[in-house]
Amino acid sequence: MGSDVFEISVNFVKMVAIFLLMVNLVPMLVWVERRGSAFIQNRFGPNRVGPLGLIQLAADAIKFLFKEEFIPPKGNKALFLIAPIIALIPGAIAFGSIPLSVPIEISAFEMFGSQWGPYVFPFQSFEIGIGIVFVLGVSSLGAYSMLLAGFGSANKYSLYGALRASAQMISYELAMGLAIVGILIVYGTFDFAEMIAAQQGPLSIPLFEADHVVNKILGILPNWGVFYQPVGFILLFVSVFAETNRLPFDLPEAESELVAGYHTEYGGIKMNMFYIGEYGHMMVASALIAVFYFGGYSLGTTLDTILVEGTIVPNMSALFASLLNLFGSGWEQSTNLINVVRAFVFHGIFMAKILLFLWIFVWVRWTLPRFRYDQLMDLGWKTMLPWALANTIITAFLMLFLR
């Protein structure tokens, strides 16, 4: 975790903070979901408790925590209790391995009378060399929570929901994996930070020369993956809806047929943990889409240069230093402080992109009707898989000829 006390403690704080970031976004998203659905359906939504109904979240959380615990007497108690815990793990681990901003470079400084060496802190819970392979592997474990919940509840509706959920997740994982293969061929790396680095600069299509008219016109656009892999983007975007079990693919919990699907027997904080898992999956999916197709934490070269070289970040860090001086003295403007503030500015950009995609998740949920089960399987196996295969092959051939 690190070579000395400072590095270890910063890494530890980082790990906890990113987990808390994920968990604490969930109530906000629930609020967005309820208010957003009301907005789309021309209703009011929760608007009584606090301003804009924001305190409703706290009321709901307290209600969830104090609800009576119920375990179905004929169910399997161990599996029933372990399922909500497993629901929380994949999203949390996968979100922790995605870099949420540029790494923070800290040069050597003096504190508490001793010298602390130069550090580089990546803006993620833990660094793992294989990036996307790890995220895919960990998030595919999410199917177990639904299977165990369905089996442990000893309820026919739960079992149906669990079977639907796992069949759907396995089917759409193929299309999702192949869509990601296209992006891997384009960038030639598994690492998230390298992918984002490859999307810097203005858009220039390798078919034409660098100073060709077409590239000059396209040069106003950022060099984002969505312009190279539009089909892959659509395929990934559709399949993450199926992977997160959101409408239009929420067959596992289809309330008109299956009561509530795999979490029929759950109530209180246990059901809430399934929700946190689902929203965690959504955050991971949004972050992946942002990294693959929308430049991750960068905003295109021009804006990035303004942030890195302009006066905005130094001014902000000077302001931050003077704010810190209100509580204790000795803080001054330094390159370390500028680096930290810059990393947080890029983090803000990345979070804005993630929140935009999360809003699209909500928007789609309350706009589209649900698929029938055979339509879902037809779409997955007969439409998306061939398109994903064709996309992979065409991308591979194009990359071969353009090199």
Specify the residue, 35 or 164, whose C-beta has the smaller distance to another protein.
164
Structure-token pair, residue 306 = 């303004």
Is the Cβ–Cβ distance between 217 and 226 less than 8 Å?
no
Structure-token pair, residue 178 = 């192949």
Is beta strand 114-116 parallel, antiparallel or unpaired with respect to 119-121?
unpaired
Stretch that binds another protein, among 36-44, 127-135, 282-290, 386-394 (CB under 8 A): 127-135
Residue 173 contacts another protein per CB under 8 A: yes
Residue 69 DSSP code: P
Stretch that binds another protein, among 140-148, 204-212, 304-312, 378-386 (CB under 8 A): 140-148
Residue 141 contacts another protein per CB under 8 A: yes
Is the Cβ–Cβ distance between 201 and 219 less than 8 Å?
no
Distance CA(347)–CA(224), nearest Å, equals 18
Distance CA(103)–CA(363), nearest Å, equals 33
Number of residues that bind another protein (CB under 8 A): 25
Which of 2, 118, 137, 206 is close enough to bind another protein by CB under 8 A?
Answer: 137
Structure-token pair, residue 322 = 């003077």
Residue 163 contacts another protein per CB under 8 A: yes
Specify the residue, 130 or 306, whose C-beta has the smaller distance to another protein.
130
Which of 62, 85, 130, 394 is close enough to bind another protein by CB under 8 A?
Answer: 130
Which of 52, 170, 205, 356 is close enough to bind another protein by CB under 8 A?
Answer: 170
Which of 25, 159, 276, 289 is close enough to bind another protein by CB under 8 A?
Answer: 159
Residue 388 contacts another protein per CB under 8 A: no
Taking the complex as a whole, how short is the minimal distance between the CB of residue 134 and another protein, in angstroms? 5
Residue 238 contacts another protein per CB under 8 A: no
Tell me whether residue 103 is exposed, middle or buried, using C-beta atoms within 10 angstroms of its C-beta: 0 to 12, 13 to 18, 19 or more: middle
Question: What sign results for the dihedral spanned by CA atoms 151, 152, 155, 157?
Answer: negative
Taking the complex as a whole, how short is the minimal distance between the CB of residue 3 and another protein, in angstroms? 13
Distance CA(162)–CA(29), nearest Å, equals 25
Residue 377 contacts another protein per CB under 8 A: no
Taking the complex as a whole, how short is the minimal distance between the CB of residue 202 and another protein, in angstroms? 29
Stretch that binds another protein, among 66-74, 137-145, 332-340, 357-365 (CB under 8 A): 137-145
Stretch that binds another protein, among 21-29, 104-112, 132-140, 278-286 (CB under 8 A): 132-140
- In single-letter form, the type of residue at position 210 comes to A
Residues facing residue 202 across a β-bridge: 222
Which of 102, 169, 284, 362 is close enough to bind another protein by CB under 8 A?
Answer: 169
Question: What value does the CA radius of gyration of the chain take, rounded to a whole number of Å?
Answer: 23
Stretch that binds another protein, among 133-141, 234-242, 285-293, 322-330 (CB under 8 A): 133-141
Taking the complex as a whole, how short is the minimal distance between the CB of residue 237 and another protein, in angstroms? 21
Structure-token pair, residue 69 = 């615990």
Contact residues for 87 (Cβ-Cβ < 8 A; gap 6+): 142, 145, 146, 149, 273, 274, 276, 277, 278
Residue 162 contacts another protein per CB under 8 A: yes
Residue 136 contacts another protein per CB under 8 A: yes
Residue 351 contacts another protein per CB under 8 A: no
Which of 143, 175, 236, 254 is close enough to bind another protein by CB under 8 A?
Answer: 143
Of 168, 107, 155, 68, which is closest to residue 335 (Cα–Cα)?
107
Which residue matches tokens 């359906």? 41
* DSSP string across 281-325: HHHHHHHHHHHHHS-TT---HHHHHHHHHSSHHHHHHHHHHHHHH
Residue 129 contacts another protein per CB under 8 A: yes
Specify the residue, 1 or 108, whose C-beta has the smaller distance to another protein.
1
Stretch that binds another protein, among 15-23, 38-46, 161-169, 206-214 (CB under 8 A): 161-169
Distance CA(342)–CA(21), nearest Å, equals 19
Max distance between CA atoms of the chain, in angstroms, equals 73
Which of 36, 46, 96, 150 is close enough to bind another protein by CB under 8 A?
Answer: 150
Residue 265 contacts another protein per CB under 8 A: no
Which of 19, 64, 190, 331 is close enough to bind another protein by CB under 8 A?
Answer: 190
Structure-token pair, residue 93 = 């681990």
Residues forming the site for another protein (CB under 8 A): 128-130, 133-134, 136-138, 140-141, 143-144, 147-148, 150-151, 159, 162-163, 166-167, 169-170, 173, 190
